[in-house]
Amino acid sequence: MTDKTLELAMELIGRPSVTPHDHGCQDLLIARLQALGFTVERLRFGEVDNFWAQRGNGKPLVVFAGHTDVVPPGPLESWETDPFKAVVRSGHLCGRGAADMKSSLAAFVTAIEDFVGRRSQIKGAIGVLITSDEEGAAVNGTVKVVEWLAARDIKIDYCIVGEPSSSRALGDVIKNGRRGSLGGLLTVKGVQGHVAYPQLAQNPIHRALPALTKLTGMQWDEGNAHFPATSFQISNISAGTGADNVIPGELQLKFNFRFSTAVTEAALRQRVEAVLRQHHLDFEIGWNLSGQPFLTAEGALVDAVRAAIHQELGVDAGLSTAGGTSDGRFIAPSGAQVVELGPLNATIHQANECIEANDPARLSRVYGRILETLLR
């Protein structure tokens, strides 16, 4: 095999690094980076392996960020090939992590190898931030590494996250921001009783329905030029003992906001709790903010990424803030400009995950071109 990016991607896919386990993926990356003169700090928090690698101490500091962990493969009978034995079939690289995001990791490394190989000295510095805790709880991964960097006064200027951003063709979409994510666990209390004697009980399902109906119909904001309007979704409801003759004593409900920069998480909390109080519910609510919205406006990084895509792929990339959260939410608050650029996302988290086999090498060339622009 002559395609070194594809070869490295396949080697990474061959390691069953289901979150939060790394299974030696980081060892492969570290060995390649140390051979280029990178200083590497292995950072283990809890059961999660992370590392920070840096070459140079100047400015700007350009960072590639990503994760070695993948989601479970699911039923093996749904796969046409072994999910942890990478294969190239009909011109496609197949295996768990092909798109999300081991091909990006391989492209990071080979882009840096080629860039460093062309010059004995570089302006600025290159960093690589890798975690094995992105697909899981995401509490001992990138967020902890960013805290570690801040404690050492290491400030990222530009960051490229290798998430699979592309939609129909490699490089057609750059994610230059993400919505925030605010979850809630609502408990509505009632009084358990026999369904034949409702006057002796209080049904929390019945009592909560009007408030829930109002919440699901509310407009939280109108969005803005960069973000769609905030959405509210109920994801789980549970109540009762399983018997059909018992009025439940409480209702539990999980919900989530994906919110824009047009509203604050504090305002969302206040409005939800106000509705619940207006309907005279006896309730408790636990909130979980897993990420604030962030946006990297058009500027040096966005311009460099767009230009690199056009020069290497002949594609005019669009900007998007759609989709779920990413570890960019932990990096952007430091003041860094952050974008996401990676393979097609059509098969991520699915059985038979795959991308075009030549895309890892093409992506590597784009990453290399970005380095040429930002560190020239």
Written as one letter, the residue type at 41 is: E
Rounded CA separation 219/207 (Å): 22
- Our measurement of the distance from residue 277's CA atom to the centroid of its chain's CA atoms, rounded to an integer in Å, reads 35
356 backbone dihedrals φ, ψ, rounded to 5°: -65, 135
Residue given tokens 């026999």 in the structure block: 194
Residue 69 bears catalytic tag: yes
DSSP 138-179: -SSSHHHHHHHHHHTT---SEEEE----BSSSTTSEEE-EE-
DSSP label at 230? Answer: P
Respond yes or no: is residue 134 known to be catalytic. Answer: yes
Stated length of the chain: 376
**Which amino acid would we find at residue 130?**
I
**Separation CA 63–CA 157 (nearest Å):** 8
> Residue 91, SS3?
coil
Cis before residue 218, ω within 30 degrees of 0? no
- Marked catalytic residue, from 22, 100, 133, 134: 134
232: helix, strand or coil: strand
User: Residue 55 — φ and ψ, nearest 5°?
Assistant: -125, 120
Of the candidates 69, 133, 163, 312, the residue annotated as catalytic is 69
Instruction: Cite the active site residues.
Output: 69, 134
